Structure 1
């Protein structure tokens, strides 16, 4: 895990450095003066290093989220400096003295620089007070990174850049004009811009209406192809959790795992198969070759579907694909995965990464009745052509040993219950803690063993059986010893593995997945969901049991309020800075026009807006 995090952090740092170098290169293309470029570039390291003090004050560390925020802010750090520098040079090119050019140039744009920085900062402020934990974590780490760096870059643009520009203007020869590059109307780019500007000024109504029409057309186009589904993360590892009935021995579990390995050996994209087998549960990790997409022109969802077809119909085997995770290695513990329970964390699904799963929720008080209803719904869901798999979040009954104590007999023999409990606690020779110890690439299960004072080595390694438990001696208060079977009825039985409750009400989940073709098409997905709704509605649900179909969970509903609050704050800031109620509307009109590019990019790249 630590190695993976270090690798991710190093990659983010490299991307941030690359972005900063590209920003400096773009500045050099337009400014053509290395001294001015380096002056503006100073805003980047200054903002980054001073921002660490804000990190300390906010109580956040250098993690992946805060580094992503810093990487996003790198390109914005030089914006304010460029505006101030250009305006100072504009005055200097008209013959103003360096002192006057710096003062006048900075005074004219400070209001705009302050407003633009403050509006960007305001966008992230509402997210710091969100109710959703993930939204708040993102807002805190990414928001503090961007806010701190932008505020420092604004101060650098209003103080450091004027000072450095003044030094540059003072040292230039008097016969050298204070200009970056002479721009004239014979340049092709300038001619295109002037033509568009004149056309817009001559036809303001057409320009405004045309912009709004283009905005709504691109918006509706993006919504038409968008589906609220998760995207499969392109990874070279495919992990499958195998679950068998409780009480399955290690040997029987290994036989099932070997069957799975044999079926996957001729997978074209396979590089290696690594398995970890425990009693009643196992993990199969399939590592794909480099550039596996080129072998049979298949993406990860298609390969998963192929793997699923290969491992189907193995007796008593339930399987589930683990969602994308940034951690490496096998999942620890000896308890096994719960059959049918969704895997993966909330962060992956919040970021739109993972396996798209739909849920049927069954609520009630009679667990056996709920389980029967769940098994029926699972059967009917698996019979649908669009459903790839369906799992019931109920473990098979777990084998256990029960003891019914005869309190009358215990009283006559003067045996206290504490004496029985004391003997039972020393009965097992060892048990698993469910924790693993990792050394290099190897993992070891940690077992706790009781110290045994026996002389014979064979007796020390002897396996305890049911007959040993029945013949166990229990001391009485007067020093006599009695067999456990004389005090209680000892027998095999089965008990429920897990029971989930919500607000004191038992619940069972059925998680199911549609096939890749259905998830990739909005009309097919809507039709498949309607088919599931009709299926559940047509079933005869017993009294005392409630069934709810949850097709999707809108994790972004809080964003609507946060974004609306941010827009209100931006309007208030612009109104206060420009001392006008109408000017902010003119500036805010640029937002939908900027959205046109985003919606067109969504259409071109095939991504989803929701």
Structure 2
């Protein structure tokens, strides 16, 4: 082959040029490697657009009818949609659009915004804005700190964390938000006395308007005088609680005369704990495009600097959750294994060649090729992750092959043909150049079919293995045909070739086998057929699982309540669960245990100690066995399967239930859960759906309200203040912090339905009338949230697999549900992860077949 000969001959004649080229390659590779991002797995850049609609309303059902469905309808006209999801809550609608792989997210984001703006007239008038994002927000914090500040009160500690730590951490590049949990917060409570309001002929809305009118901040232009421009800024704000009490409502009446204005503790339903104790701390969330490890390191540095503030001198910061640690630990293990593999490869190489300098030169191929690969990975936009390191590890054993062949060919020319070093190097490389080039290309071409795969996930995963592997092998070919002959041409011949008795015996045996095969061709063919048959039989016995559940260093136990219970009752359940886990903490190898809960859900996050004697799957089973048997409470672990990410569900494999009513689907899901729990191979059976609760519904009597001149909006506003209160737009300004101001009815927490029915509603003429004369009040079941996929309401029943493949699990599900009757208009179908498994397996078979043909 002419090309290798020309390249090799030029390298032999110009060793300085070759040396400088490789020195430059090492410098660039080292520079790039030091700046490469580090993460656990590569970012699977599925084209995505998210549309958020903030909207405070009475119930998810109402928002779904008035907001979600119109938005879904218009967004469905967007071209290139793969799947569409929506999540409707009582205060927000989020529509997730997974686009086809060839779509441009920026362009589609603009189109989505224009489409939603075009139907603004069909949406409620009080929707002020939309949020458009090309990536969904991260749902879990990357770092969590717990702060111990014994010398500070809960209130002071919370304010210091907010001013001195939270704001500092939010300025760290890559940080999306920082949330403070725990501690004691307070607000200004303006508790109106209904009797006094009625006696003075005032309405709740009158007081609200007066507070808003007095507490303001706006610009009123500027004054030009003597070539100096002065800004005019009227400012009205409350700085002391007495300012609110003294605010006049009329010439002889102040707010203090009709309301009690005090500080009150904020009712925080989202409770946080650490190892069973109430905790004060911070959770840090990163931006989706930011690098996990880099952001975590920067946040820790910023937190250490913020902790040196004089007012936080007595505070202690404890990191209880750091997602970057598990990533670094996994990568360190891979790097250590790679180094050990490289050393073992060098030892085997020396045992074969038995000459120190040639062995050293060939072994140097490994670090040189890897450094060059780091540079290529950096400029290709790859990161150091588990998959890319696997590609580098696989390459370590292949990198010396070309150099071994070239060095032995050159040594043979010098020993047996008596050629000069220069001529031996030239002819030695030329004779084997075609062979090693063909061998390298057959390895590289195996990964060429990855560009034809249908799924972004498969392409991304294989690219992170293939690019490092192929680049390093190509670099080893370049080193073998340039640097190795250039160096060997200038080395002395050395002593005679040492005898390899073991290899000589193996050669004799190999020769006999070849001769026997040539003489008994049919017998050899029969043996080959038997070996192929045995391989096919073994393949049929293999379990096919394209996304096995990973065994990570953390567990997340989730539980939710069907309905809503008092916070005290929920806290009692949490106490019992925490006591069970903390009691078995040492035995199960559990580290820190952090908890969050509210009225109808709870999450317990557990870190696993490295010296634990049980695998995570065993710990999960043990913990589930310890869980109390509480009616209407479902305990399950969040799955760690790495499947297709559609930002819905908990990552498990399961069955989708589709119908019109989420409440009815939840009833069906409970029946299905009972069926699946009878299968030993299905564990951790659960549904990710939100719980239901009871809502108080107000039905206006239009005829009576119209006769008295009361609008439905004013009526709803009065009742809203009476039951839930209302937060003023501006609060009590203390300079470095602001306390919220809430307007509410006195003793609203103890109000009964009878009291609510007698609530005075003020009429336009100044008179009052009881609420029961204008409206009927009743309780109705309501939902916390509603999930939809492709404009269909759905609930997913998920489960983990134990000693069973996804294909076998699919057959088991179909057999179990063959006689399951669904109501009219409702249906079930296999979860998308079942299809994803089959799609990935099909892609792999196509890639293997195409690779064989290309080779």
* TM-score, length of structure 2 as denominator length: 0.52
**Aligned with 2:818: secondary structure?**
helix
**Aligned with 2:454: secondary structure?**
coil
Moved more, 361-370 or 191-200: 361-370
Residues 455-498 of structure 1 deviation map (CA, whole Å, 9 limit, x = unaligned): xxxx9999867679999999999999999888766665432233
Q: 1:247 to 1:191 in 2, by over 3 A?
A: same
1:452 counterpart = 2:741: yes
Distance in 1, matches of 2:811 and 2:386, equals 40
CA contact (8 A) 1:229 1:356 kept: no
Residues 171-207 of structure 1 deviation map (CA, whole Å, 9 limit, x = unaligned): 336xx44x3x234699543333333233233323322
Distance in 1, matches of 2:586 and 2:742, equals 55
> Which of 316, 322, 346 does residue 632 from structure 2 map onto?
316
CA contact (8 A) 2:544 2:805 kept: yes
Q: Between Structure 1 and Structure 2, which shows a larger proportion of strand residues?
A: 2
Q: Which residue is 2:238 aligned to? A: none
Q: 1:313 to 1:75 in 2, by over 3 A?
A: same
Q: Which residue is 2:795 aligned to? A: 508
Residues 124-160 of structure 1 deviation map (CA, whole Å, 9 limit, x = unaligned): 2222342212112112322221222222221111111
Distance in 2, matches of 1:461 and 1:157, equals 86
**Aligned with 2:822: secondary structure?**
coil
Q: 1:41 to 1:386 in 2, by over 3 A?
A: closer
Q: Which residue is 2:482 aligned to? A: 159
Q: Which residue is 2:226 aligned to? A: none
> Which of 119, 127, 130 does residue 442 from structure 2 map onto?
119
1:54 counterpart = 2:376: yes
Q: Which residue is 2:425 aligned to? A: 102
Q: Which residue is 2:218 aligned to? A: none
**Aligned with 2:387: secondary structure?**
helix
Name structure 2 gaps, 5 residues minimum: 1-322, 729-736
CA contact (8 A) 2:694 2:781 kept: yes
1:274 counterpart = 2:593: yes
Q: Which residue is 1:346 aligned to? A: 643
Q: Which residue is 1:567 aligned to? A: 852
**Aligned with 1:315: secondary structure?**
coil
RMSD value over aligned CA atoms? 4.4
Alignment of 1:141-220 (within 5 A): 141-168=464-491, 171-172=492-493, 176-177=495-496, 179=497, 181-183=498-500, 187-220=504-537
Alignment of 1:211-250 (within 5 A): 211-226=528-543, 228=545, 233-234=550-551, 237-250=554-567
Q: How many residues were matched structurally?
A: 510
Q: Which residue is 1:362 aligned to? A: 657
Q: 1:520 to 1:22 in 2, by over 3 A?
A: same
CA contact (8 A) 1:410 1:487 kept: no
Distance in 1, matches of 2:810 and 2:479, equals 55
Q: Which residue is 2:819 aligned to? A: 538
**Aligned with 1:24: secondary structure?**
helix
Q: Which residue is 1:337 aligned to? A: none
Distance in 2, matches of 1:242 and 1:198, equals 70
Distance in 2, matches of 1:12 and 1:54, equals 20
Cα distance, 1:319 vs structure 2: 1.0
Alignment of 1:456-535 (within 5 A): 492-513=779-800, 516=802, 519=803, 532-535=813-816
CA contact (8 A) 1:110 1:158 kept: yes
CA contact (8 A) 1:414 1:478 kept: no
**Aligned with 1:167: secondary structure?**
coil
Cα distance, 1:78 vs structure 2: 1.5
Q: 1:348 to 1:380 in 2, by over 3 A?
A: same
Q: 1:290 to 1:13 in 2, by over 3 A?
A: closer
Distance in 2, matches of 1:414 and 1:218, equals 83
Distance in 2, matches of 1:2 and 1:290, equals 16
Alignment of 1:428-443 (within 5 A): 428=726
Distance in 1, matches of 2:698 and 2:785, equals 21
Distance in 2, matches of 1:84 and 1:145, equals 23
Distance in 1, matches of 2:342 and 2:595, equals 44
Cα distance, 1:302 vs structure 2: 4.3
CA contact (8 A) 2:695 2:779 kept: yes
Distance in 2, matches of 1:478 and 1:461, equals 25
CA contact (8 A) 2:549 2:642 kept: no
Q: Which residue is 2:409 aligned to? A: 87
Q: 1:367 to 1:89 in 2, by over 3 A?
A: same
* TM-score, length of structure 1 as denominator length: 0.70
Q: 1:531 to 1:559 in 2, by over 3 A?
A: closer
Moved more, 552-561 or 475-484: 475-484
Distance in 1, matches of 2:439 and 2:608, equals 47
Q: Which residue is 1:283 aligned to? A: 603
Q: Between Structure 1 and Structure 2, which shows a larger proportion of helix residues?
A: 1
Cα distance, 1:6 vs structure 2: 2.7
CA contact (8 A) 1:415 1:476 kept: no
Distance in 2, matches of 1:270 and 1:504, equals 44
